[in-house]
Structure 1
Amino acid sequence: MTPNAASAPSAPSRRSFLASTAVAAVAVGGGAPLLTACGGSDSGSREGTTSGKDAKKLLPAFVASNVVAPDIPAKNGSAAGFTRKLALADLKTSVPKKLGKGGKVTIMSPFWGSPPKSDNAYYKAMNDLIGTDVHWQNQDGNTYEQKLGAVLASSDVPDVVVVPSWNLNGRIPSAIISKFADLGPYLSGDAVKEYPNLAAIPTDAWQRSIFGGALRGLPMPQPIVTGIVPLYRQDIFEAEGYEVPTSADAFMAWAKDATNARAKRWACMDMKWTAFQSFGVLSGNEKPLGWNLVDGKLVNRVETEEFLEALEWTRKLFAAGVVHPDAELGKSQATDPGPKFAKGEFLVYANNMSQWWSRTAEQAVQNPDFKVWGMDIFGHDGGDPVLWAEQPAGIWSFVNKKASEEVVREVLAVANVTAAPYGTKEFMMTNYGVEGTHYTVKDGVPTKTDQGNLDVLNAYVMVASPAPTVAHPDFPDVARGQVEWQQRMGAFTRKTPFFGMQITEPSRYANLSSNFEQLEDDITRGRKKISDMQQAVSDWKSKGGDKLRDWYQKILDENGSAAN
């Protein structure tokens, strides 16, 4: 059980990091959706940056849930953690009475996998629990953006539409502003208290849900701490007497010592993302997060010395022959690294935190000595790292502007159930379905049945979610390890000026930096030089980067900074 902890692609690209913790309940078969590059239209591109006093008027009051106390409370931007076994008899009730009035609601949402039949037992049970007749229009998550664009351009928009952040491209942001309702009258201030589970959603996630100067989105919150962890074979480290590296130089020295190509063992996979973290490079997950104020001037991540230093260190790893050949050839981006990691062909790789649990679960029976753990991100010089906060929400559901108040209330009734916290009956129903039909519990560990694997996939969890939570009753040590890792790294995490803001760059800048990621990989593999990146940055500045800086500066002047 891993609420709000995504299963990301095996070798994430820049865009896939957006799904870091946002797609937990929707990742199917070990893979999250293919993510696309950010774009945007000029229309409505800056209305969504409401912050400061203006935003405070729109935000719901925060009332922490006291229904269930976590074993490890959230701290430093982490998820909350549960390490205890699950006892169905101890589940709490967070929605004592149905708020739905029996109305019909249609919801369009991305779906990864095969959608179940519309009259399946899970949908029936959820609708009965909520008191609302929800009808799902599930769409292929891999091609969702095309469908989304077509629907929003039409006059036939469903009552509710789910939009992930990686689909905020083209005309979609302006369509959100023109097509979807202002939920402020129902949720701003104390109004949210009618929906206690929504009131317990962190304020940062609501701030991120302001589009076009109005509170329009119902969010899926996520931790602001990076979800990308250097995962390593702790069992082999201990057997070989290796010390966990605490600097860039120490990692290089260890990697050379650990690599034995003749024995088919290499130190690591591509460590570029760990390099970015270790050298303090600004986030590459979303364009606004790539800007920071330095001596009063906005600077982009690609303009920094840290960016070049991270690429150079990664290049040296490849040049030293310590990186697994699959990464050299690019195979790691298309294949699951799990089997070769389990065989010990490489000992460290950077990936989504969810693989800490999934790799453990995969090997628990067949390889009981196997132990994967998360390596703390080290400062490149051996000191504390400088890490940068990720956005506090990454998926939203929106209500049709034409919906009646009755329909809006029905939608909020749905969201109040799906946002129920871990340890409640509503959470179990939303995430696991009906006991006996969709899951069983043995020794405190819930396991989906075949029917559960068919019915209980990514549907209701997309409407709204509780504050981020990590819970693994089968591997409580992993749950504790994940949350404590987030808390340690959270202590070194800073916010950039545009944290939590909804910003869509003008379309004229959409492709300005589209070639950087490929150039990064060419440099780290020795096909290009650092000087090529310096030239690319110079071109970027002259072709629009400097004007884009001015555009961001105006937003900053008008809205203030979110950094604190």
Structure 2
Amino acid sequence: MSQTHSPSRRTFLASTAVAAAVAGGAPLLSACSSGGEGSKEGTTTKKEAEKILPAYRASDVVEPDIPSENGSRPGFTGKAEPYGKLPASVPEKMGKGGRVTIMSPLWGTPPKKDCAYYRAVDEAIGVHVDWRTQDGNTYGEKLGAVLASSGIPDMVVIPSWEMQGKIPSAIDSRFADLGPHLSGDKVGKYPNLAAIPTAAWQMSIFGGKLKGLPIPSGAVDIVIPYYRQDVFEDKGWEVPASAQEFMDLAKEITAPRAKVWACEDMKWTAFNVFGVLPDKPYCWERQGEKLVHRIETDNYLEALEWTRKLYAAGVVHPDAMAVRGDAGTRFTAGQSMIINDGNAKWYGWTFEQSGKNPGFRVSGMDIFGHDGGDPQLYFANPAGIWAFINRKASRETIEECLAIANFAAAPYGTKENRLVRYGVEGTHYTLKDGVPTKTEQGVTEVQDTYFFTASAEAVAAFPDHPHVVEDWCGWQQRMGAFMKKPLLYGMQVREPNRWANLGDQFEDLEDDVVRGRKKVSDMQQAVEDWRKAGGDELRDWYRKLIDEAGESAA
């Protein structure tokens, strides 16, 4: 999913969670709930979470070529084997021949319900799925209507960016508690689900119960400052190691008459360079005895000021200032040399350019501290998309749903993973020099559907461009060394509804400040207004929650 400008938090979540992933009954704290008896505000304590979580059992079916280090994705650089040589992670068919309805988003044209791909996967699992896919771009609208109706499918996929309005309360009331099936050693019946990292399961606890089947995210899947490595090497430009070096280099690169600018909007990278905290609910830090929100920190204002200076210096592409056109297209065309975007673009741009620009090489710039020292970075959310099972589903239907999820969560390099991702060899894809290549039928039929029911640990695996795997994994290993967990990391936190929209204006205001339409003093005033409008009360609520729930459950 290409970004037309600096991505909003919502669109970034959507594009990164989907594209990158494709690449590779405890009570709540009553003390933290101010909504009265039965309120679902707050989070689940560490102690209670331990009773709920599935017991982790790592998969040993396939070994990566590049092991995980500092939270990085495991990497696979080798050529893909023919289907017949792949190991199986689900040796016996787990489905019992039942029928399951599943609602999920789809970015593309829905395949026919009786297509060969659906028939092949259903046969392998032993469950017939009736897919009720919806346009991913308008999924939230349909989701709200379905959850408010009496006709909820057996499984429903809900991404984190759609968990607004009444969706969280619907999760509490409409979906089944999976703890009786998966908590502790019970998950052993489903080995691929047992191999999902514990942090992802931690984020699947909603309302004090294990409700979601997660798609794990990579711990170091953060916004990457990409640069045109091929052009840098040709021009002899050195990758900067401080905020000032970045500015100096940006001025050297920019040549408007040649239609070349140093960068696109760099706000997201600025947040990392200046060590700004993540978004809610991980937006708080302790400063002595005080609990401070990200927007109250000097780091936040300094990041905005630095980005504003880039715009003011004229080193940012003018279309980024005007918020028009496609930033990625400008980057690959050589109109801008540096851009920040999601991790999926490392491979995406390389693949896109390989046929028409063989010399194209993109790389990730190591994130530096603003003063040239080490950066302060924060681990990414452990999961961002979940599948939920209807609370009214029978035990038999729940087990059929879990059989589907266990199959879909097969690790890279297994028969099950290949079938889900590429379909039937010879029908939906062929192997060309160890690279699965979809046929015309495969392009039409093999869409990301089963994938949304659960997924294995996030990996990097591109047999057609192994150098991307090596470079990406190396970048993640280096950046992972500077990462830490923010307060409440890995916890699902339900804020009281009265403060749900308290900070909605800040993203637009950030963009106005960096483009010079507003002043940094306007942001400071907005923070004061936020405090008076409920920010200080929200701070007290979070202080109590953190004190009683624990700073992090992961």
Assess same fold via TM > 0.5. yes
Instruction: Note the C-alpha offset of 1:151.
Output: 1.5
Residues 289 and 7 of structure 1, relative CA distance in 2, 3 Å threshold: farther
Contact 2:273–2:370 (8 Å) recurs in 1: yes
Task: Write the distance in 1 (CA, Å) between the matches of 2:230 and 2:379.
Answer: 31
Matches within 5 A, 1:64-463: 64-88=58-82, 89-284=84-279, 287-331=280-324, 335-463=325-453
2:467 aligned partner: 477
3-state SS of 1:275 partner: helix
Q: Alignment RMSD, CA only?
A: 1.9
Instruction: Note the C-alpha offset of 1:16.
Output: 2.4
TM-score by length of 2: 0.95
**CA shift digits 1:389-446 (9 cap, x unpaired):** 2210000111111111111110110011000000000000111111111111100111
3-state SS of 1:308 partner: helix
3-state SS of 1:22 partner: helix
1:34 aligned partner: none
Residues 431 and 506 of structure 1, relative CA distance in 2, 3 Å threshold: same
* Overall identity of the aligned pairs, in %: 60
Residues 27 and 222 of structure 1, relative CA distance in 2, 3 Å threshold: closer
Runs of 4+ off more than 3 Å: 6-11, 25-28, 41-48
Task: Write the distance in 1 (CA, Å) between the matches of 2:137 and 2:35.
Answer: 26
3-state SS of 1:134 partner: strand
Counterpart amino acid of 1:427? N
Contact 2:261–2:317 (8 Å) recurs in 1: yes
2:44 aligned partner: 50
**CA shift digits 1:268-293 (9 cap, x unpaired):** 01111110000000113xx2021222
3-state SS of 1:467 partner: coil
1:518 aligned partner: 508
Counterpart amino acid of 1:167? E
Task: Write the distance in 2 (CA, Å) between the matches of 1:180 and 1:514.
Answer: 28
Task: Write the distance in 1 (CA, Å) between the matches of 2:93 and 2:393.
Answer: 21
**CA shift digits 1:177-217 (9 cap, x unpaired):** 11111111111111101100000000000000001111111
Task: Write the distance in 1 (CA, Å) between the matches of 2:245 and 2:282.
Answer: 29
Instruction: Note the C-alpha offset of 1:384.
Output: 0.6
Matched residues, number: 542
3-state SS of 2:384 partner: strand
Task: Write the distance in 2 (CA, Å) between the matches of 1:392 and 1:426.
Answer: 23
Instruction: Note the C-alpha offset of 1:9.
Output: 6.4
**CA shift digits 1:229-286 (9 cap, x unpaired):** 11101111111111100000000011111111111111101111110000000113xx
Counterpart amino acid of 2:244? D
Which blocks of at least 5 consecutive residues in structure 2 are unaligned?
24-33
Contact 1:390–1:499 (8 Å) recurs in 2: no
Task: Write the distance in 1 (CA, Å) between the matches of 2:290 and 2:79.
Answer: 51
Residues 540 and 317 of structure 1, relative CA distance in 2, 3 Å threshold: same
Task: Write the distance in 2 (CA, Å) between the matches of 1:283 and 1:262.
Answer: 38
Counterpart amino acid of 2:346? W
TM-score by length of 1: 0.93
1:3 aligned partner: none
Instruction: Note the C-alpha offset of 1:563.
Output: 7.5
Task: Write the distance in 2 (CA, Å) between the matches of 1:163 and 1:345.
Answer: 37
Contact 1:8–1:19 (8 Å) recurs in 2: no
Task: Write the distance in 1 (CA, Å) between the matches of 2:20 and 2:242.
Answer: 35
Instruction: Note the C-alpha offset of 1:102.
Output: 0.4
Residues 105 and 42 of structure 1, relative CA distance in 2, 3 Å threshold: farther
3-state SS of 2:346 partner: helix
Contact 1:48–1:211 (8 Å) recurs in 2: no
Matches within 5 A, 1:535-546: 535-546=525-536
Q: Which moved more, 1:441-450 or 1:413-422?
A: 441-450
Counterpart amino acid of 1:484? G
Contact 1:25–1:431 (8 Å) recurs in 2: no
Contact 2:96–2:400 (8 Å) recurs in 1: yes
2:29 aligned partner: none
Instruction: Note the C-alpha offset of 1:479.
Output: 1.1
Task: Write the distance in 2 (CA, Å) between the matches of 1:341 and 1:12.
Answer: 15
Task: Write the distance in 1 (CA, Å) between the matches of 2:20 and 2:123.
Answer: 21
Matches within 5 A, 1:9-28: 11-19=6-14, 21-24=16-19
Instruction: Note the C-alpha offset of 1:66.
Output: 0.2
